[in-house]
């Protein structure tokens, strides 16, 4: 019996992929000479921590931090202008809670940024648990953050589903022995689909037809 629904944040509950990709482009353009990012490189980083995303471009630790700082400055600027939740996000989360499910977030973002994002789009104070990159040593696609979330909630992995938009989400969920869900509006839909998610959701409202 399913008792717990965990969500990724970016590209799943909040429409942030364009903000992230533009921040990534700005950082690479400023700090990496004569490098043109491919579309795959831009979308691939959507499921990564910042260190993972920029690591292969770094010359040293200072260079890495410079890229991350430029990324953060650009995305903070764009977030205030552009960030919103996907349609029905608040409604669906509240519905799932009324149905008795435990609902949480497991993301590769830092807690500071997550809390700012959730408050900005009006999704704060809705979740039973929020696991960020600050909470675990290993990150998706490693299953550690998902397993940590279930332990903190006191539930089993087999009664949990993880819903995301990136192949790292599906891989992490599969490795944690959870059910998995893939959002159809994903920028990485085909790549994630290769890892055989349990469910494919057209949009967030689609969850109401499955979990009732």
pLDDT digits (tens, 9 = 90+) for 147-190: 999 999 999 999 999 999 999 999 999 999 999 999 999 999 99
pLDDT of residue 63: 97
Active site residue 8: yes
What is the average per-residue pLDDT within 190-202? 98
71, 47, 72, 77: which is closest to 57 by C-alpha?
71
Mean pLDDT of 132-148: 97
Catalytic residue among 8, 135, 165, 169: 8
Across 32-81, the runs of DSSP E, i.e. the strands, are none
Cα separation, 194 vs 6, in Å, equals: 21
User: What percent of the chain has a predicted confidence (pLDDT) above 90?
Assistant: 99
User: Which DSSP symbol is given to 164?
Assistant: E
Which residue carries 């408050």 as its tokens?
Answer: 119
Q: Can you give the pTM of this predicted structure?
A: 0.95
- Side-chain-side CA neighbours of 132 within 13 Å: the count stands at 12
CA distance 177 to 187: 24
Residue-wise pLDDT for 98-128, tens only, equals 999 999 999 999 999 999 999 999 999 999 9
Average pLDDT across the chain, whole number: 97
DSSP state of 183: E
Section 28-39 average pLDDT: 96
Q: What pLDDT was estimated at residue 212?
A: 86
Whether 22 shows a pLDDT value over 90: the answer reads yes
């Amino acid at each position: 019996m399913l008792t717990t629904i965990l969500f990724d944040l970016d590209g799943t509950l909040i429409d942030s992929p364009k903000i992230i990709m533009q921040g990534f482009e700005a950082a690479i353009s400023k700090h990496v000479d004569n490098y043109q990012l491919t579309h795959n490189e831009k979308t691939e980083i959507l499921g990564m921590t910042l260190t993972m995303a920029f690591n292969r471009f770094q010359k040293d630790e200072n260079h890495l931090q410079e890229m991350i700082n430029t990324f953060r400055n650009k995305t903070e600027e764009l977030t205030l202008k552009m960030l919103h939740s996907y349609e029905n996000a608040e409604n669906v989360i509240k519905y799932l809670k009324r149905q008795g499910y435990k609902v949480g977030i497991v993301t590769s973002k830092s807690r500071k940024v997550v809390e700012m994002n959730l408050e900005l789009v009006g999704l704060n104070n809705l979740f039973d648990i929020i696991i960020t990159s600050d909470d675990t040593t290993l990150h998706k696609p490693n299953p550690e953050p998902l397993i940590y979330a279930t332990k903190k909630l006191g539930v089993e992995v087999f009664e949990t589903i993880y819903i995301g938009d990136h192949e790292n989400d599906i891989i992490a969920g599969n490795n944690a022995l959870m059910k998995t869900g893939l959002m159809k509006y994903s920028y990485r839909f085909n790549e994630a689909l290769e890892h055989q998610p349990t469910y494919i959701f057209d949009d967030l409202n689609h969850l109401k037809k499955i979990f009732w």
